[in-house]
Amino acid sequence: MARVRWATIRHPANSSKAILRRLSARRGPQNPRLETIGENFGGENPATHGGEDLRDENELKLEERRTIYVNVPVDEVDLDEDRLIRHRYPRNKIRTAKYTPLSFVPKNLWYQFHNVANLYFLLLVILQCFSIFGATNPGLSAVPLIVIVVITAIKDAIEDWRRTVLDNQVNNTPTRRLGLWHNANATDEQVGVWRRIKKATSRLIRKLNAQRKGQVGDPLDLDRITTRPSADMVRRSADLRRSMDLLRRSESRAHGEESILKPMAGNEYEADFAPMQHNVGDVIDKTRQTPGKAEWERTYWKNVRVGDFVRLRNDDAIPADVVVLATSEADSACYVETKNLDGETNLKIRHGLRAASKIKTPLDCEAASFIIESEGPSPHLYNYSALARWTERDELDPSKFEEKLEPISAETLLLRGCTLRNTAWVIGIVVFTGDDTKIMQNAGVTPSKRSRIARELNWTVLSNFVLLFIMCVVCGTANGIYLDDQTSTFNVFDMGAEAGGPAVAGVVTFFTCLILFQNLVPISLYISIEIVKTAQAYFIYSDLDMYHAELDYPCTPKSWNISDDLGQIEYVFSDKTGTLTQNVMEFKKCTINGIPYGEAYTEAMAGIAKRQGHDIVAMRERELQRVSEDRASMLQQLRQQRNRYLLEDELTFVSSTFIRDMNGHNGETQAEACKQFMLALALCHTVLVERDPQNRQRLIYKAQSPDEAALVATARDLGFPMPERTQRGVVIEHESCRREYVLMDELEFNSSRKRMSIIVRKPDGGIRLYCKGADSVIFARLAEDQKTSVRQDTARDLDIFANEGLRTLCIAYRDLSEQHYADWSKQHRVAAASLSNREEKIAESCDEIERELVLLGGTAIEDRLQDGVPEAIALLGEAGIKLWVLTGDKVETAINIGYSCNLLDTDMEVVQMACDKPETAASLLSMHLGKFNLVGSPEELKVARHDHAPPSSKTALVVDGDTLKLLLHDDLRTRFLLLCKQMKAVLCCRVSPAQKAEVVRMVKLGLDVMTLSIGDGANDVAMIQQADVGIGIAGVEGRQAVMSSDYAIGQFRFLTKLLLVHGRWSYRRLAEMIACFFNKNIVWTFTLFWYQIYDQFDGQYHFDYTYILLYNLAFTSLPIIFMGAFDQDVSARVSMKVPQLYMRGILRKDWRPMKFWSYMIDGLYASAICFFFPFLLYNASGRGTFIQQDGHTNNSLVELGAYIAHPTVLVVNTFVLINTSRWDWLFMLIWAISNLLLWLWTGIYAQFEANPQFYHLASHVYGSLTFWAVLLVTVVAALLPRFCIIAYRSLYAPQDADIVREQVKLGYFGDEFTGAAKSDSSEGASETPSFDKHHPGAANGSGSSGRTNPFVDEADASADGHSFSRADARPSSWGTSPPTSQEGSDRVELVKKGDTLSTATCISTPAPVYGPRTSRQQ
């Protein structure tokens, strides 16, 4: 056996009852032994769960844990009165869809009317069904609500249908399970009549679709489906002969090369060199009488049940959570890919039960007898505890039986959704199905987020509710007073109130006005916002500038409802490895026996040179030339070696000196040290090896981390390749001699150990332990007789490597005697088989043998910066965004990466805080706060919450994880936050995922700012979910961060356009759209309210009822939606060239209460003009009439309504138009169509006699000259104040964007920015979102889809070369010196108060400030 993971514990036969008491889930929790088992059942693991208290969850697991019987009679306690198993486990059929065909309508309506707004509008529809409230057509009044509900239902149905299709694909995936065998854990499923009808209907539909496509039969017939999608995998039957043939072939198979090693001198493959064999027992009862009928049968995933035997083949997906029993490998190991579970593409190793490793055939499955005591369903992916127990005859006395048990951990569990790789077959037993599986337990864990505007919108809607209530109360009260006045002439025309007395009539009028003024709380606002945000999400997804061709990955919005938050981000929290860097590791340097090797010029070295004032361009050229010359010399020496696996193009380690020393130029001692060092790199890992099908000499290493792959690849290129793994260990080929190192034990790496070790038997028979890990861990475990000089030199070299921005590891070894290893191995097996505190005991056992190490040296690996990171960080800084780096790397490495990526500058003072006591931390905070004249009081924090300016100091703060733990304490948190607020940059090093999330939470809540977190690994998920916006980078570490994020991108540099362009646009568009929406509803509602003054407030309306219904639905909806989706104040390129424009979003100037109320007051004024102008002129002309030339008098109420409605619709649509920054042909067409819809509807509807009062109204009104005169005067008078405000602001108090727009027109940004006259479609295409889902242009590297988008031009002009802009109409007298920005002048004052960007004052200066930046800046 190659690995010894678990051992078994023997108990005398008379102790079986004691075992039942200890292990049975049916006994009460009062048994102390049972409680200790409960601790192991997914107990608290701070490293995995962030230190959360899991006691309640553990108690729940104890209650829900299950016993799985395999060919063993079920205990009486687990049987019900019908002698069937008591527990009912869920089906393996999953349903992520919310609805079924029958439940869709009632369930969807139930969900929709959970929205308070929908309930409110439903109440209004119900009220209108009663004629007492004055509604003339209740059916028509329900149309808007019906339209909204239907549109939402259609959207929900489409989304749910897609989920249903995916569910059906998963549920109907074929697999193999053991058939003709009784599973005691599942009862025969009773299929009801309704399910039979559904199944028959589904089969009929599939057959009809198949016939339409020319196929015969049911496409889901198992006889027509292959078990695996891979066509090149040969199908083998499940009978004994072929299974044993496959086993024999797999035993001779090596992972890297399918050949059998031939013995060489000094390398006899004898059993003496193999690991010790342990009597682990066997769950197969050879004396058991079996029917012998069982065989592997093909079935669907949805038919798999708890307790079933399943057989998986290479490349099969795992149908349920399965405990591995046996595999095709001799050591019962298998390899799985967890990409669908956690996003990681690296292969993971899983091991089968030792006692079940002999199960190969269906006959073996029938003969196996055992029980699995398992924990209950749990969402923890990396924790699992269970126990297998069985009875076995005593070898010495067959009449006696032994009770044996073997622990089961997460390393024995295959999770649903994973994929089997590099393993011929696996036999397992199902323990969790359906919703109990871990992948389903983790479904929906991402928290729901709402944008800031959406949260603040509730208050604006509430204020409108209050206003509506006041209006209704006024009308109801006034109407009651009028009815109660017996002297009023009102009683002459109204013969008593229909509802009774004045008080009751006032109540009726209240509800009547509630219906009449319902548009004040717009039902269409919510659906309009959803439409706009959906369009914004699609434009983000379609932007080719954020498309990563290498991964074929566009920017993918996952939360569509927070796009406006992207325009208000003030703090960005970033991981380093894989986020700022590529996470592509390159071996650069090493130190062996105290001597450093390696020539490299890293980005961090360039940062150091920049900090020291050197000419980095000239230095870079010199250093690269020197490295190139040394590389050529090194390759010349390597070609003389007999290494057929050398890959010259992939060689990253450059040191001709190392090759000479390894060949003995520096003595035999150093030569041997170099060889042992490289041998350690080639052995101490968990890397898998494959061969390139095109070139068999090309070895491809697949590792769980990029670091391991880089180390093994370097050993390969320097003469110590690992061409294959055998069933017993690893083969190393050196100087054409192949030697096998038998793997005895593997002590795995984890975040708490910070090291990994392997124990191998060398070809000469000796046993050696190799260990690699962090320098602090390895140095603490070195032998006392280790040479002090070697230790000191190695430590010095590692510090130099870290200062150069390289990631370091230490390499050491220890020789073990046979007796020492045997004693330790026995102790380690006992620890592995422990039922309580298993992980701690294993860690103690590993720590015991990882002592007395001999230091070989250290490695240094570079993780290069991603393309464009320095420029992106500089651009974000110019926009006023503060960037903090939260990383797990060393302090020195993080600092140097900070310099190389422009986060730190040469003139900055870097303050490092490191302490281990709260008192020291408090004194350090006081000292540093004193430099800024602060004491850290809550009052100072209140002031800081209103200060959004970048810190004026040139200071950066660096904190390590241990110190951060002290600083995040409640007593020091406020002072620490205030200190960080004064820093230009903050770097937190050696921090845990929980600390990352806590830092984000501290800033978000403490400063009341918008935060964004960006990362690429599973350790970044906590801070991604904590921030207002979470960004996941699809990188090398997997895609768990992507799956938990709100937006996913391929590179860090794409963040700049996502924020500065799409984020700023989305925030500005949505803020303007919402304000205009409330304005237009105020205008319409108050034209109805003003009429009540002349109608005794009885709720009468002067519009035709169709006007009221169609106002929000048709007449005024499109212009405002198009403004929210497509408006641009400046183009994408100008937004990137002038990042200071983003500051307006940080200051939240585009959406604030003052703007809301100013638009409401504007609407109130416009409503008065739109009503009183026609109404007063109407009364003044002919005493209440407009007389036409043909003698017809326009004196009816509906004709008065037409005189008022037409200018009202034109005013609100034109109000949207003049508040829109960019007038292109599409927007002008939509604006014109929306206005003409009112004329068209009036003309068409007036031709029918259904409404006698409206009959021929169009010819009467439109044929009157007075109508057109009133229309013109009313529109001009209503819009004149807003037009004057816009003109005054543009001339005397322009915003930053106004000045930049003028500068664009004057050509300060180059000819390509001057507008429509000089733009072409090819320019627009590069920044126009492509409507091609697959990005054909980006895929071929052109950077453009070759198509322009005439609907949304993200550049300066529309695709047809025409653009309308208010900037065209600005006075030419401005010349080259446009007026100073009002924002800029405010900022000069605010800077003194610490309220905004000090650098933003430049926006008020003439154009040279905004000229094109240098190529480096771009």
H/E stretch holding 431 reads strand 425-432
Cα–Cα distance measured from residue 1351 to residue 1357, given in angstroms and rounded to the nearest whole number: 11
Burial 1288-1317 (b: 16+ CB within 10 A, else e): eebeebbbbbbbbbbbbbbebbeeebbbbe
**847 is known as an active-site residue:** no
DSSP assignment string, 1076-1100: HHHHHHHHHHHHHHHHHTTTTTS--
Cα–Cα distance measured from residue 265 to residue 735, given in angstroms and rounded to the nearest whole number: 14
Query: How many other CB atoms sit within 10 Å of the CB of residue 495?
Result: 7
H/E stretch holding 571 reads strand 569-574
Cα–Cα distance measured from residue 1134 to residue 717, given in angstroms and rounded to the nearest whole number: 49
Cα–Cα distance measured from residue 746 to residue 759, given in angstroms and rounded to the nearest whole number: 6
CA nearest to 1329, candidates 1347, 1312, 1316: 1347
Cα–Cα distance measured from residue 406 to residue 389, given in angstroms and rounded to the nearest whole number: 6
One-letter amino acid identity for 562?
A: I
Residue tagged active-site, from 575, 745, 1127, 1356: 575
One-letter amino acid identity for 649?
A: D
Long-range contacts of 1257-1260 (CB under 8 A, 24+ apart): 1257/1198, 1257/1199, 1257/1202, 1260/1188, 1260/1192, 1260/1194, 1260/1199
H/E stretch holding 692 reads strand 688-692
Count CA atoms within 13 Å of residue 768 on its CB side.
Answer: 16
Tokens of 246: 């496959």
Contact yes or no for 340/418 (Cβ under 8 A): yes
Helices 1197-1218 and 1225-1245: crossing angle in degrees, nearest 10, is 170
Q: What is the spatial order of strands in the sheet that 985-989 belongs to?
A: 556-557, 1047-1049, 1029-1033, 1010-1015, 569-574, 882-886, 985-989, 955-960, 909-913
How far the first Cα of the chain sits from its last, in Å, is 60
Cα–Cα distance measured from residue 765 to residue 740, given in angstroms and rounded to the nearest whole number: 11
For 1072, residues 6+ apart whose C-beta sits below 8 A from its C-beta are: 1123, 1124, 1127, 1150, 1219, 1220
Q: What single-letter DSSP state applies at residue 189?
A: P
**Residue 318: strand, helix, or coil:** coil
User: HEC profile for 755-788?
Assistant: EEEEEEECCCCCEEEEEEECHHHHHCCECCCCCH
For 262, residues 6+ apart whose C-beta sits below 8 A from its C-beta are: none
Alpha-carbon separation of residue 420 from 166, 726, 851, 998 (angstroms): 21, 19, 37, 37
Contact yes or no for 349/686 (Cβ under 8 A): yes
Cα–Cα distance measured from residue 466 to residue 456, given in angstroms and rounded to the nearest whole number: 16
Tokens of 566: 């992207």
Q: How far is CA 463 from the centre of its chain?
A: 35
CA nearest to 1194, candidates 1210, 1183, 1207: 1183
DSSP assignment string, 1349-1360: -SS---SSS-TT
Alpha-carbon separation of residue 798 from 305, 1124, 1146 (angstroms): 55, 56, 42
Contact yes or no for 552/510 (Cβ under 8 A): no
| Residues annotated catalytic, as ranges | 575
